[in-house]
Amino acid sequence: MNDLQHRYDDLLARMARAAQQVGRKPAEVRLIAVSKTFPPAMLRTLAELGQRDFGESYVQEALPKQHALADLELCWHFIGPLQSNKTRPVAEHFDWVHGVDRLRIAERLSSQRPDSRGALNVCLQVNIDDEASKSGVAPADLPALAEQVASLPRLRLRGLMTLPRPRGPGEDPHEPFRALRALADTLRAHGHTLDTLSMGMSEDFEAAIHEGATHVRVGSALFGRR
């Protein structure tokens, strides 16, 4: 526990410094603990330290964890690629979905979301670097998808998410996050009430916070290497 608490405290301190460096309040940025492959006991320990947001990528792994931790008030984020045959358990058991990139997935989430759970928070995943190997809507197609998703019942379009490629020497690590923020600003100018930029992971969350991230998804810097 001491190692986990040390990493957690250090991570929160780094997040706070990054926010303050650009005149933001640390409370404006939420940490999503990327807990895939880690056991419920470790998540419970983090919850005892104050962590409430947890991110899972595999439905079959996440559901037993949610059951084991049902006595805790946690917020569950689905952050992995979402296939059509897995939308129902995600719609039924998660609070957020960070990777919606096509209308068919959004429609299934909307139709399968229980009324008793309230609206499902969703972020649209943008393929900011136009990588063939990654999911995500192309920036040019984003406005149309946003309009379609925003019209669906039982979903609440909260914002955008991206997984940029790692930047190398001489490249600006802020660039993809700046581009995602600009896309969100454009959507807001067209009437969308977006409040979320889900961007930044263990290697680049400070640059993402500098560019307006509201949620950072951190795994290895918190839990250690898998």
CATH of the domain at 9: 3.20.20.10
Task: Give the count of domains, the chain.
Answer: 1
Confidence of residue 224 (pLDDT cuts 50, 70, 90): confident
pLDDT tens-place string over residues 82-130: 999 999 999 999 999 999 999 999 999 999 999 999 999 999 999 999 9
Instruction: Label residues 51-89 b or e (16+ Cβ within 10 Å = b).
Output: bebbbbbebeebbebbeebeeeebebbbbbebeeebbeb
Q: Quote the CA–CA distance of 129 and 147 in Å, as a whole number.
A: 22
pLDDT tens-place string over residues 166-222: 898 899 999 999 999 999 999 999 999 999 999 999 999 999 999 999 999 999 999
Token representation of residue 86: 């897995």
Q: Quote the CA–CA distance of 72 and 51 in Å, as a whole number.
A: 11
In this predicted structure, what is the pLDDT of residue 1?
Answer: 60
Q: Quote the CA–CA distance of 160 and 135 in Å, as a whole number.
A: 13
The secondary structure of 127-140, three-state, reads: CCCCCCCCCCECHH
Q: Greatest CA span in the chain, whole angstroms?
A: 50
| Phi, psi torsion values for 78, nearest 5 degrees | -90, 120
Closest by CA to 105, choosing from 69, 65, 149, is 149
Q: Quote the CA–CA distance of 194 and 153 in Å, as a whole number.
A: 17
Strand-pair partners of 162: 126
pLDDT tens-place string over residues 6-56: 999 999 999 999 999 999 999 999 999 999 999 999 999 999 999 999 999
Q: Which residues contact residue 132 at a Cβ distance below 8 angstroms, ignoring those fewer than 6 apart?
A: none
Domain residues for 94? Answer: 2-223
Strand-pair partners of 188: none
Q: Which residues contact residue 107 at a Cβ distance below 8 angstroms, ignoring those fewer than 6 apart?
A: 152
